[in-house]
Structure 1
């Protein structure tokens, strides 16, 4: 009986207000303890094998920039995404004479191996530590995509270069054909940085 009471007490304490993923009640953000992040706290993702996220969040806005695609990730990745959005993508847009209003994502959490192979190393997408970005939208109504505009604008290339730092891994069209239409951004403990 005492054991069950102790377990119940631990469970109740765990439901307390110490979850740094929660959104600010006033709607001003505060997701993952970062006022730039807006979105929602999700239930833990439990999947097959090593896949899953203990404390997932879905990002909808970062510092006023709309994030499409409903990306799901852990808080470490969300904070890196916020750092890059503000200091990387938005800055690259300003340097190109534009105001960033939207980042389009095409992949985030997915239980799979790297490159979707049937065997091999697990992808950081499967751990909630990666997000794939395909395009930017701007206040003037314009849009540029990695697939169509990689070579035609410096904004995307500068933004990709500025991702190396907040993220450990940055892969894009300069890396291989599998990344011709998006920037793969992830945080990992495997190595310091790998940016291509």
Structure 2
């Protein structure tokens, strides 16, 4: 596995070593010791989640507040998505910045999203299966979010607004300037 820092403090891209042969492929998607040695972070993942979405579905930008903040390790097991991480940690040197990349079943890349960051993704393929590990349990009362098309963040999504499929809840999230920084 290789690991590469992004422009967001504590956010990493992970590239597994893939072994291909005539039968298919194999790779280790997560190894606690390897991850901790390469990242310098101690993370104890306690929950795995998976979602299925169609082309044009945009989920996010979501986060958890307080003691329920979550670090996540995200990946795509089928399809392709555009993945976005926004730093909302007031004391972070990268506060207010975002990182955007493409995750797919083809590139097997993963993103480590640190606590104190909002996260979202847009499905680029006809469908996508998205899987992620969390280091804390979900708590409905602690959930928060930022509007996907916030003018101050100015995230250039790869699909036009007219083609996006967004939940009613995500369409009325507050702007970045109106959230309480973590």
TM range (shorter): under 0.3
Higher relative contact order (CA 8 A, sep 6+): 2
TM-score by length of 2: 0.28
Task: Report which of the two has the higher share of helix.
Answer: 1
| Rg larger in structure | 1
